[in-house]
Amino acid sequence: MSKDGLAQAVERMTQRGVDPLAVHVFQDAYAQLEAGNTGLIPESDIEPLTDVPRLEDLTSDADEQAQALAHTAVVKLNGGLGTSMGLSGPKSVLEVRDGLTFLDVVARQVLALRERHGVPVPLVLMNSFRTREQSLEVLAAYADLPVDGLPLDFLQNAEPKLRADDLTPVSWPDDPDLEWCPPGHGDVYVALAASGVLQALRDKGFRYAFLSNSDNLGATCDPAIPAWMARESITYVSEVCERTVNDRKGGHLAVRRSDGRVVLRERAMVAPEDEQYFEDTDRHALFHANNLWVDLDALHEQLEARDGVLGLPIIINRKSVDPSRSDSTPVIQVESAMGTAIEVFDGSRAVHVPRRRFRPVKTTNELLLLRSDLYGFGDGHEVVAQTDRPDPRVDLDGHYTLIDDFDARFPEEAPSLVECTSLAVRGDVTFGAGIRCVGDVVVETDEPWSIPDGTTLSAEEMAVP
């Protein structure tokens, strides 16, 4: 039954025009799935990763940094839609602050980096079919952005969703697009190669690539890291941050006992009996920021040696074929995470970076933080915290989940949060201009309520109309 399922899946991928290299990788992942490989990493198989060097301790002079940066490209993962926030298109075209979208900020960061160091750092997006058009429209406003001979993007691959009961490709005539899914962001290595972008970068003399998510505006291209890679012949680097209780569900690096290699363990790779260890921020004190650096020559060599299959651990993602209908056909999406490639490269390393390099926006809670006076833009359009205090905990209820509803309830501006330690909003509340939050603030109402301009909300005066 499963052999028939694989044959059907390959036929569909071939008919769709999926690159043969991506088909080959899917066949390998399907074989792992069929063999009963769960992708789980038991706590008993690993040890915590310790003694990670800090970014501020990586010493290099300006010449070394400029030299390394001249051979570095920036690759942004940009295939995701903002569906969880009510967007029908890419999340990266959402306005983040000051009238600029995520992609506007990314483009300006790269242009500022070029001007500061005098080197033509290319920016390349990994788009999906659904994000490509709108994303390139945003970048078209920056005439100086393209680097001669290099594209501004390449497309991630697609694979069929598999029926959970027999591993055959699912059929969903109501919306055939829902029969397909991306193979996870681990596909970036295959997509780089299959699209020809990997070879194009190498032909132009680019040795290193910095990979990160387009919604993480803290992930700027720091030349100290490729300079370190060049000096010590490091082929792969993962950035990690200090783990707090709020990060306990995020992936972490560890050392595999059997061979001493560093591995990435994501939440989906943890068995229920090991969750207590996975979430132990004292035991696994650093979390994976999904900011990665890879030696492109080493990547090419690995792909050549492995016939295009890096053999990344699979992640089994169980869903309904139509995410909006829990009663639709149960499916399996076979995915991989790009950070798991750390175990592929000999001598791969981790670097402990400041929290400022991890500023993702997954929800409107995080968007409110970035739009507030907690942050501003530096000279290089990097996101700069305006206070040394930790970010307040923001907890907005369902009235604010979708971006249109969120914007309607903050029609003027985000409230001031520089003196706030937490903000919880329960109910349909519209914030006026010049609202100031101090300490722990709870706003709760059973009826629609508008907070007047200039109001100060504090813990001492609970904001209940």
Q: In this predicted model, what pLDDT tens digit does every residue of 32-80 receive, in sequence order?
A: 999 988 889 999 999 999 999 999 999 899 999 999 999 999 999 999 8
CATH number, position 398: 2.160.10.10
Does any domain span residue 465?
Answer: no
Report which secondary-structure segment, H or E, holds 203.
Answer: helix 197-203
Does any domain span residue 277?
Answer: yes
Does any domain span residue 42?
Answer: yes
Q: Are residues 242 and 109 in the same domain?
A: yes
Domain ends where: 357, 384, 399? Answer: 357
Q: Which residues contact 372 (CB under 8 A, 6 or more apart)?
A: 414, 415, 416, 417, 418
Q: Are residues 441 and 377 in the same domain?
A: yes
Does any domain span residue 291?
Answer: yes
Residue 465 has pLDDT above 80, yes or no: no
Confidence label for 427 from pLDDT (cuts 50, 70 and 90): very high
pLDDT of residue 463: 53
How does the average pLDDT of the chain come out, rounded?
A: 94
Phi-psi map region of 209: left, alpha, beta (phi>0 left; psi -120 to 50 alpha) = beta
**pLDDT tens column, 332-350:** 999 999 999 999 999 999 9
Confidence label for 460 from pLDDT (cuts 50, 70 and 90): low
Does any domain span residue 464?
Answer: no
Q: Tell me if residue 457 falls in helix, strand or coil.
A: strand
Q: Are residues 43 and 114 in the same domain?
A: yes
Range of the domain at 59: 2-357
Share of the chain above pLDDT 90, in %: 90
CA distances from 211 to 78, 138, 184, 208, 340 (A): 11, 20, 14, 10, 13
Q: Are residues 195 and 267 in the same domain?
A: yes
Four-CA torsion 252, 258, 261, 266, nearest 10 degrees: -20
Q: Which residues contact 73 (CB under 8 A, 6 or more apart)?
A: 121, 122, 123, 124, 150, 201, 206, 208, 209, 210, 296
Q: Are residues 221 and 339 in the same domain?
A: yes
Does any domain span residue 180?
Answer: yes
CATH number, position 309: 3.90.550.10
Q: Any idea how long the chain is?
A: 465
Q: Are residues 26 and 143 in the same domain?
A: yes
Confidence label for 3 from pLDDT (cuts 50, 70 and 90): low
Beta strands of 321-426 (E only): which ranges? 330-335, 349-352, 375-377, 383-385, 393-396, 416-426
**pLDDT tens column, 372-407:** 999 999 999 999 999 998 899 999 999 999 999 999
Residue 29 has pLDDT above 70, yes or no: yes
pLDDT of residue 325: 87
| Residue range 171-197: mean pLDDT, rounded | 96
Q: Are residues 142 and 250 in the same domain?
A: yes
Alpha carbon 70 to chain centroid distance?
Answer: 25
Q: Are residues 445 and 333 in the same domain?
A: no
The pTM score is 0.94
pLDDT of residue 461: 54
**pLDDT tens column, 258-268:** 999 999 999 98
Helix ranges (H only) for 246-311 are 275-278, 296-305
Domain ends where: 357, 390, 423? Answer: 357
Q: Are residues 334 and 434 in the same domain?
A: no
| Residue range 301-319: mean pLDDT, rounded | 95
**pLDDT tens column, 122-168:** 999 999 988 999 999 999 999 999 998 899 999 999 999 999 999 99
pLDDT of residue 1: 42
Q: Are residues 125 and 242 in the same domain?
A: yes
Share of the chain above pLDDT 70, in %: 98
Domain ends where: 357, 382, 415? Answer: 357
Query: How many domains are there within the chain?
Result: 2
- Distance, in Å, from the CA atom of 94 to the CA atom of 99, rounded to the nearest integer, reads 10
Does any domain span residue 463?
Answer: no
Does any domain span residue 221?
Answer: yes
Are 340 and 251 a contacting pair, CB within 8 Å? no
Confidence label for 246 from pLDDT (cuts 50, 70 and 90): confident
Q: Are residues 317 and 344 in the same domain?
A: yes
Q: Which residues contact 377 (CB under 8 A, 6 or more apart)?
A: 97, 98, 105, 383, 384
- Distance, in Å, from the CA atom of 330 to the CA atom of 162, rounded to the nearest integer, reads 9
Q: Are residues 255 and 369 in the same domain?
A: no
Tell how many helices (H) and how many strands (E) occur in the chain.
Answer: 12, 25
